[in-house]
Structure 1
Amino acid sequence: MNFKIDNLKLTILRGERIFREINLENCLGYSSNDSLLSIKINEYNLTPNGQRKRRTHFFKLENSEMYSQLKEQLNVALDSDKQSQRSLLVVINPFSGRKRAVKDFNNVVSPMLSEASIKKCQTIITKSKSHVADIVDQLDVNSVTELVLFGGDGLLHEILNIINSWEESRKCEFLDKISFGVLAGGSSNSVCAALLIERGWHGRSKKLTVENSAFLLIKGQVTKVPLCENILDQSSAVLSIEKSAIGFGAVSTYEAENFRYAGPWRYTITAFREIYRCPTYAMPVFKFKQLEKSHWPTEYLEYRKTSGSEQAILDKSDISDDEVTMREHFSNAIVHNNPAFYETLDPDGVRFVSIRQPYFALSCILPMSRVQQLAYFKKVLHGNIEFVHSPLNSIFLTDKLSMKFACEHKVTIDGEAYTCKDWEVSTSGPEFKLIM
């Protein structure tokens, strides 16, 4: 038996015939038995539905020289030395999602980390919000390189805003030295879904496996991601990474906290309650500056060619020095830069924004009757993105937005509820390093 490694593909040969081919891009590491001259490799192949299915390969080499050569080449191809230098602190929220995070870490994530030669891994199970603050406050940035969060989107949002409350030099040092990783352990895992979508992998939150997000954590690259800065009432600064809302979406998310026992279904329950009520929301005056057309992604250029709803809104708006002031009423308005922001059964969302880009989408949905809302929400629930092209929906790209409400108003920022009269959102927040 012989072998060759070319372009991250391991080919096992028997004579001149190919015995087996293994894509090393889908492998984390390997185990070996020196006495038997044997190698075992798990290959995590991507299935048509975007999940990773493990296939184990086991084979013996003919002599110790060939065996040593293969191990040496595998170490290089799989970055074993680099992986062994990583130092992780995994913060686990045991109450997130289905309350399986601790069990899933021990049974799924930990073996995958060991397989990838990542040995330096400490875990802390959170007890309360104050405990989370203590964990981050006491983290030694000189001994830990990665902060991995195993829970829902709220845990990432919470920690980023704890860091944001620090004095500037300490905050900058932390964000410069620490990379963030996320594992799918919550009711809503839209950040995980977005990262997988960007890699061309699967992102359905109902089928978003821990194994898939752990594979991304191990094989992903560190990328600097801009944070949105939300200024409430010209005083409170709140950082966000993916999604903020007013109107239908904000009220539904706000009230969903009363139904946490229902897990991910709590959002569906409160959405149907809002549809039944069919209220009229007091929308603010929006002011924003459209992203320059030269910066529009190809997908958005194509969208604007076929959609007339944005121009209809602009024709009824005041425009001065490229700043648009909209006075239209909407049933829902969402500020987002996450392609998985409709993260129900199939989070396709709008594909012309992503969390790595320094701008976001403003999606405005015109007022609808109860029947229209029900039909609309059913499309969202089943992952049907036809509503993106609906004349009731308008989408603008911007990097700065301000809203002024007539009275105190509910808003949600990355799933957390706030109230304010003035709200400014921009991409002028700090950057943080995310493994994606």
Structure 2
Amino acid sequence: MRLVFMFACIVLFGTAGLVIFIHLQDPVEIIPQQTPGVKYNAQRHRNDCPPGGSQAGRVTGHKSGALAKVPPLGSRGPGARSREQPLDSLALLVGEQAKPGPEGGRGQPRQRRRRLLIKKTPIVIALNSSAVTLAQLRPQEAGAAEGRWQRLYRVQRERKKTMRDTCAKYKSGGRRAVTPYHVSRIFVEDKYRVLYCEVPKAGCSNWKRVLMVLGGLASATRDIQHNTVHYGNTLKRLDAFDRQGISHRLSTYTKMLFVREPFERLVSAFRDKFEHPNSYYHPVFGKAILARYRENATREALRTGSGVRFSEFSQYLLDVHRPVGMDIHWDHVNRLCSPCLIDYDFVGKFESMEEDANFFLRLVGAPRNLTFPSFKDRHSDEERTTTSIARRYFAQLSPLQRQRTYDFYYMDYLMFNYSKPFDDLY
């Protein structure tokens, strides 16, 4: 009888331990496992359009609408941010309410436990379909000919319809929810009620400049330096708000997204990160790519990570067991901005940037003297990546590599109605 009782106790305690272990698993940490070979921690260190500056003094919204400063979450490089951070910030806010006991007595362990529980609890925000309707401005209000103005409205309707039809056809129609992870790349401008999801290599540097001018942080886009744009910690991101703040802004702010032809965006990223000196991409990505994909790589190449060829970069991109993780500069728009979860009100394209961007600025009531800047953020003496330049790089690949790269970006091609870049693609 005693043996039976002891066995029952062992089974009971084992089951309880398993339940506790499963409960404490962080759902955000599980997400990257859905795609083999993708490691997100490496991608958020340094880039053209990093998630923001240092964590010191990051602004987080309370339900009451008041703003509070969140203490630093540890020493990281400029622009670095871990995927767990949105959950950590909420944990810190709740932790502030748990007052420690005298002289750091019993109250402190309770505060730590509350932080842990908040961090490990999934934050799910029910999807709010956008309640925003683009302003119907008359041509004279916009300073444009009526035919051109109506064409721009029609283009927006067609782009949004294509995006929604693609999502309906290829994405599951089950219960949809938005988490802080899905909005971690969306910047907030409260004065003009704008949300902008950044897509690196699709004009994001200049869009950040525009948002800073709209928010009164600068008088002109030309005055804002590169480091201020990317490491100044001046722009708020949507995942810094609580659930109510995120849901409210998703449903009432004008949400915009600007995309670029995938092959051109990929070549632009390669030229910027691997054909110019770079203190992050060469030692982190370059070394790993050369070690894995170049036969008889020289000791100097392995030491510096410089000189990566486009064919080697393509091998890395298509390898499901990448030696280093995916990076936002060549990740899918579908995964960066979640257009099948978030109901974007305006879809612009890099190829028609000036017209689309200035149309958007008129729609949100921006000052008439504010137009989208056309200057190149870095390597200004170098020609922008064009269709012909992208084709020249892809000519270095075999037909099979081109096909596999097209397959990699297939949803972006469909969702944003881009034509096949090569005739031999199927």
Report the TM-score range of the alignment, normalised by the length of the smaller protein: under 0.3
Higher RCO, 1 vs 2 (CA within 8 Å, ≥6 residues apart): 2
The TM-score normalised by the length of structure 2 is 0.26
Q: Which structure has more strand as a fraction of its residues?
A: 1
State the TM-score, normalizing by the size of structure 1: 0.26
The structure with more helix, counted as a fraction of residues:
2
